[in-house]
């Protein structure tokens, strides 16, 4: 009996697929600091595909898809209807833990890089993220309102799908750039990289970076949430100072 169990276990180990590739990746900056003059930022993403066997060489051809996700937030998409010349909100759908930033960077057309089932399973497209975050049980409403939310986020520069943004420097080394808008949300970001071969994921890796306010802007932001009394006093002092300065200038 013991021999039979050992034999079955050995067969199971032999049947388990072993990853042929591994990925080493990094982000050009671990922290993006927002100051009063911040007008956006561009980060570079680097990576190298290697064989998991130290005695072997990774052989492609490979394709790379990088998904950069910003802090998760709750969003509400509302439908406005014109009734007798008055626009009112007549319907809405709530999206829980929805990305405030979502950019897909690819080395080519997604439908040629990955199988349809893989794209859906990994939720690579923004609309799939919206449908997954929707609290509405009706799939049609989730898709309808999710499509509009993605359209609005794309128009604001917070969502994007760029199918020519990953460039291979060699057969196994790549570089990509992600652009952060000036009104990007503060908090942790995640850059998840997928390596595809024959339309299947053969390696993946995640890298994180943080966007945060610094200086006086950070003090005001933190005080407004952690010390409301101090924040109120600062606002009053700033208002009085601005009013006094304006009065002096106009008297002149």
Domain around 226: 214-252
The verdict on residue 23 lying in a domain is yes
Whether 70 and 179 have beta carbons less than 8 Å apart is answered as no
% of the chain exceeding 90 in pLDDT? 35
- Whether 44 and 155 map to the same domain: the answer is yes
- Whether 223 and 204 map to the same domain: the answer is no
Per-residue tokens: 70 = 């910003």
* 1: number of Cβ within 10 Å: 5
Summarised one tens digit per residue, pLDDT across range 53-86 is: 777 777 878 999 999 999 999 988 888 787 777 7
Cα distances (angstroms) measured from residue 175 to each of 34, 122, 168: 24, 22, 6
- Whether 70 and 82 map to the same domain: the answer is yes
Whether 115 and 155 have beta carbons less than 8 Å apart is answered as no
- Whether 100 and 190 map to the same domain: the answer is yes
Full-model pTM: 0.74
Q: What are phi and psi of 66, to 5 degrees?
A: -115, 125
Summarised one tens digit per residue, pLDDT across range 149-186 is: 999 999 999 999 999 999 999 999 999 999 999 888 88
Q: What pLDDT is stored for residue 227 in this prediction?
A: 67
Lowest mean pLDDT among 8-22, 27-41, 88-102, 223-237: 8-22
Residues 6+ apart with CB under 8 A from 28: 43, 44, 45, 46
What's the N-to-C CA distance of the chain in angstroms?
101
- Whether 115 and 232 map to the same domain: the answer is no
- Whether 128 and 31 map to the same domain: the answer is yes
pLDDT for residue 135 is more than 70: yes
Q: What pLDDT is stored for residue 225 in this prediction?
A: 60
The verdict on residue 7 lying in a domain is no
Reported confidence tier of residue 2, pLDDT bands at 50, 70, 90 = very low
The verdict on residue 152 lying in a domain is yes
Instruction: Work out the burial of residue 57: count CB atoms within 10 Å of its CB; fewer than 13 is exposed, 13-18 middle, 19 or more buried.
Output: exposed
Summarised one tens digit per residue, pLDDT across range 106-128 is: 999 998 998 888 888 888 888 88
The verdict on residue 5 lying in a domain is no
CA nearest 102: which of 152, 63, 53, 139? 152
pLDDT for residue 191 is more than 60: yes
Reported confidence tier of residue 34, pLDDT bands at 50, 70, 90 = confident
Summarised one tens digit per residue, pLDDT across range 194-247 is: 999 999 999 999 999 998 876 655 556 665 666 677 667 777 877 777 777 777
Residues 6+ apart with CB under 8 A from 187: 70, 71, 100, 210, 211, 212
Q: How many domains does the chain have?
A: 2
- Whether 239 and 183 map to the same domain: the answer is no
- Whether 182 and 241 map to the same domain: the answer is no
């Amino acid at each position: 009996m013991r021999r039979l169990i050992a034999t079955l276990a050995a067969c199971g180990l032999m049947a388990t697929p072993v990853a042929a590739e591994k990925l080493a990746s990094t982000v050009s900056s671990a922290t993006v600091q927002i100051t009063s003059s911040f007008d956006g930022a561009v980060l570079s993403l680097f990576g190298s595909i290697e064989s998991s066997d130290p005695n072997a060489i990774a052989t492609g051809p490979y394709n790379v898809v990088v998904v950069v996700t910003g802090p998760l937030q709750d969003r509400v998409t509302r439908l406005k209807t014109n009734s007798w010349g008055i626009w009112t909100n007549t319907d809405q759908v709530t999206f829980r833990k929805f990305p405030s930033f979502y950019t897909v960077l690819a080395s080519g057309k997604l439908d040629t890089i990955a199988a349809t089932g893989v794209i859906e399973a990994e939720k690579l497209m923004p609309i799939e993220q919206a449908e997954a975050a929707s609290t509405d049980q009706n799939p049609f409403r989730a898709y309808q309102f999710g499509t509009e939310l993605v359209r609005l986020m794309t128009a604001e520069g917070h969502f994007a799908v760029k199918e020519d943004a990953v460039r291979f420097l060699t057969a196994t080394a790549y570089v990509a750039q992600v652009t952060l808008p000036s009104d990007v949300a503060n908090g942790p970001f995640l850059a998840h990289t997928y390596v595809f071969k024959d339309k299947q994921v053969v390696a993946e890796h995640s890298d994180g970076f943080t966007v945060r306010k610094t200086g006086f802007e950070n003090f005001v932001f933190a005080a407004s949430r952690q010390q409301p009394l101090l924040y109120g006093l600062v606002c009053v002092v700033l208002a009085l100072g601005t009013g006094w300065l304006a009065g002096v200038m106009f008297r002149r």
